[in-house]
Structure 1
Amino acid sequence: MVVATVGLRGLSLCTLSLPILRSAKIKPPIHSFPTSRSLKPLFSPYNSTILRGFPSFCASPDVNVEATATAPPATEAENSQSADDIKNAANLLDIRVGRIIKAWRHEEADSLYVEEVDVGEPESRIICSGLVKYMPLDLLQHAKVIVLANLKPRNMRGVKSCGMLMAASDASHETVELLMPPDGTIPGERIWFGTEDDKDSQPEPATPNQVQKKKIWESVQPHLKTDASCTAMLGDYLMQTSAGVVVCKSLKNANIS
């Protein structure tokens, strides 16, 4: 089959077979390709009668052109994580009740406190927090806190920080309050989201390497907020302990990080 390659005005190069040319009543010269002049009337952008019924010659043969043209746009749910996906990711975070044994100013960083925190392990953890401008040091001493425990350790100006204290902040990030577990919780207790049934089905936490590689914290954090009663939430799911929900002191509808 002889094939002619034709340039359309304002369109990409396409391929046409001779049967199509014959159906348009154009006779190419014998033993030669049709000239652009002989095909010009057929492919003129103004010849809508002929072009209207032609298939798209530049599309892949596997593409349904009509379906593609009329397909509805993707829904918002299809373009973003589902609530179940977010909750499943959050269940891989090792969020625990902690108790600060003592806290002090970082010797090499004016904006950092250093805390020694009991998270229910044989040895306490050292955690650095950028809270100096937001709260006095004495507020941290012996405080019950919420700790994200399966982050990879980070060297913060010479101090190895093994975890993160979780806090709520307003939109301008001028006010920051630590998340607080209710009375009756003990250091090391793992936090969950939802109901008692959700607690029973909670999987083992991911390793710090997995949290970093899969960006688990980054995918979950935008969905953590406080509600109108200052209760910590993951979307519509309560942040729970065995003694009740996790809260902050006064920040409503605030971001959690």
Structure 2
Amino acid sequence: MATAAAPDSSLLSLLYRSYPTVISPDATEPDYLHATSKIFPQISYIEAEEADVKQWLNTVSGLKHALAKDDKHAAESILVQLNTHLATRTTLLGAKPSVADIAVYALVAPLVEKWSPEERTGEKGYHHIVRHIDFVQNSKVFALQIPEEEKIAIDVNDVRFVPKPVDPKEEKERKKREKANAQNPDAAAEKPLVVGQGKPGKDQAKAAEAAAAGAPKTNKKEKKEKKEKAPKPAPAPAAPPSPSIIDLRVGHILRAINHPNADSLFVSTIDCGDAPGSDNTSLDEETGKTVRTVCSGLNGLVPLEEMQGRKIVAVCNLKPVTMRGIKSAAMVLAASPRVPEGGDAHAGPVELVSPPADAPAGERITFQGWSEGEPEKQLNPKKKVWETFQPGFTTNENLEVCFDSNAVPTVAGQEGKPAIGKLATASGVICTVKSLKDATVR
């Protein structure tokens, strides 16, 4: 494949052009390793991730050296390693951006520009490197200041060969092996045997037995009297049941589409304020936000256009479920008329619960008078927590969403608690629906 060394100044120039407050124009050898936290101050990095950034910066340096020496074998070996690594990741760290991604772009983009379509996306092409280059140069996450005419032209529809998806299980096992070998490299290597001496472990065991036989026996120490263990303190009384253990948050639907395999479902991309890398989230390449994918049975009940770019209330600690092939990591809260026993609960109409328009995505919402404590990380489906409290979710005459504790036997009449608590933000603004009074909310 075509190779050509990138100028040594390309990375420095790109960083200064894009992040002038972070990289000094006079810097000749900037501290790339610690630049990540300055370029992306809103993202936190653990020690292992910082070590990965250092490793990838060294890998980029090795690739640059191989290109400069025209060592095609070494260069292609590193490119294969990079392509394999990116097969299951958006960025080098998985989802989080780093200066290592920018370093890869600065060095590899000129190579990609010269590659033929077959070299880019053919059977032996570097599909994932090409995708990574396109992501880095266009993503708002990196916000690189690259003029359009200088960007690498990549036709995302020109795929000559579709590679077999990486098996997540095999990839997980491979990572385990790599980690184990890195932590204990001696364990992976076989210990050499000396001819005529047999296995060291066996001989050493025999020698130890012989030494033990000739050694004088020592009297065993008398058993100490067992001390009575102090009784364990009684466990703290369990907190009274409360709907506050349900994680209700403001969600911002970035976009919604029809589910490809189910006529009754929408698939929404929702910003719920999660930290980058959180469980059940992904990085939205278009906006750079950490998002959840949510399937909702609202198709045919709520117009698709009403699902676009709007604020909703999301239930964020239900156990994720796969709905017709797509994993759903939250639930959109909506109201519908109460249905008599035996009636069709999905007949509609349905109205989405609306939080304040200016509430930020991720802001926690609670029922007034029931806001103590923190929500559980994930509700245990076996305990039926959602099913226990949901019957109390309703709307009043003023179209405000409320919790009616009298409808939930486990909390009805709880001392010091209101019979009706309105769903509100920390500032006290109430969540509402358009027109449904005395509705059920779920």
TM-score for both structures, normalised by structure 1: 0.62
Contact 1:97 1:188 in 2 (8 A): yes
Matches for 1:222-241 after TM superposition, within 5 Å: 222-235=391-404, 236-241=420-425
Match among 174, 182, 186 for residue 356 of structure 2: 182
Q: Give the C-alpha shift of residue 205 in structure 1.
A: 1.2
**Distance in 2 between the 1:245 and 1:211 partners?**
28
**Distance in 2 between the 1:220 and 1:105 partners?**
30
Contact 1:151 1:162 in 2 (8 A): yes
Contact 1:224 1:234 in 2 (8 A): yes
SS in structure 2 at match of 1:150: coil
Q: 1:30-87, CA deviations, whole angstroms, 9 ceiling, x for partnerless residues?
A: xxxxxxxxxxxxxxxxxxxxxxxxxxxxxxxxxxxxxxxxxxxxxxxxxxxxxx95xx
Contact 1:114 1:127 in 2 (8 A): yes
**Distance in 2 between the 1:150 and 1:211 partners?**
9
Q: Please tell me whether residue 248 in structure 1 is matched to residue 433 in structure 2.
A: yes
Aligned to 2:308: 141
Higher helix share: 2
Contact 1:185 1:242 in 2 (8 A): no
Q: 1:219-245, CA deviations, whole angstroms, 9 ceiling, x for partnerless residues?
A: 000011000111000010111113400
**Distance in 2 between the 1:157 and 1:233 partners?**
32
Q: Give the C-alpha shift of residue 178 in structure 1.
A: 0.4
**Distance in 2 between the 1:139 and 1:238 partners?**
24
Match among 87, 92, 109 for residue 262 of structure 2: 109
**Distance in 1 between the 2:324 and 2:242 partners?**
31
**Distance in 2 between the 1:184 and 1:211 partners?**
32
Aligned to 2:296: 129
Q: Give the C-alpha shift of residue 192 in structure 1.
A: 1.0
Aligned to 2:411: none
Unaligned stretches of 5+ in structure 2? 1-238, 277-289, 340-346, 405-419
Supply the AA of the counterpart residue of 2:245. Answer: L
**Distance in 2 between the 1:92 and 1:135 partners?**
28
Match among 373, 376, 381 for residue 206 of structure 1: 376
Contact 2:364 2:426 in 1 (8 A): no
Aligned to 1:53: none
Supply the AA of the counterpart residue of 1:143. Answer: R
Moved over 3 A (4+): none
**Distance in 1 between the 2:358 and 2:364 partners?**
14
Contact 1:149 1:164 in 2 (8 A): yes
**Distance in 2 between the 1:94 and 1:189 partners?**
10
Q: Give the C-alpha shift of residue 171 in structure 1.
A: 2.3
Aligned residues: CA RMSD: 1.6
Q: Give the C-alpha shift of residue 203 in structure 1.
A: 1.3
Task: Say how many residue pairs are matched.
Answer: 167
SS in structure 2 at match of 1:124: strand
Q: Give the C-alpha shift of residue 184 in structure 1.
A: 2.2
**Greater RCO (Cα-Cα under 8 Å, separation 6 or more):** 1
**Distance in 1 between the 2:301 and 2:437 partners?**
17
Aligned to 1:48: none
Match among 331, 349, 357 for residue 164 of structure 1: 331
**Distance in 1 between the 2:396 and 2:250 partners?**
20
Aligned to 1:100: 253
Aligned to 1:215: 384
Q: 1:83-109, CA deviations, whole angstroms, 9 ceiling, x for partnerless residues?
A: x95xx3311000000000110000000
Q: Give the C-alpha shift of residue 182 in structure 1.
A: 1.2
SS in structure 1 at match of 2:389: helix
Contact 1:211 1:217 in 2 (8 A): no
SS in structure 1 at match of 2:242: helix
Q: Give the C-alpha shift of residue 214 in structure 1.
A: 1.6
Match among 365, 368, 377 for residue 194 of structure 1: 368
SS in structure 2 at match of 1:220: helix
Contact 2:250 2:312 in 1 (8 A): yes
Contact 2:338 2:438 in 1 (8 A): no
SS in structure 2 at match of 1:100: strand
**Distance in 1 between the 2:380 and 2:254 partners?**
27
- Aligned-pair identity in percent equals 38
SS in structure 2 at match of 1:245: coil
**Distance in 2 between the 1:162 and 1:174 partners?**
24
Q: Give the C-alpha shift of residue 136 in structure 1.
A: 1.1
**Distance in 1 between the 2:307 and 2:368 partners?**
28
**Distance in 2 between the 1:161 and 1:183 partners?**
24
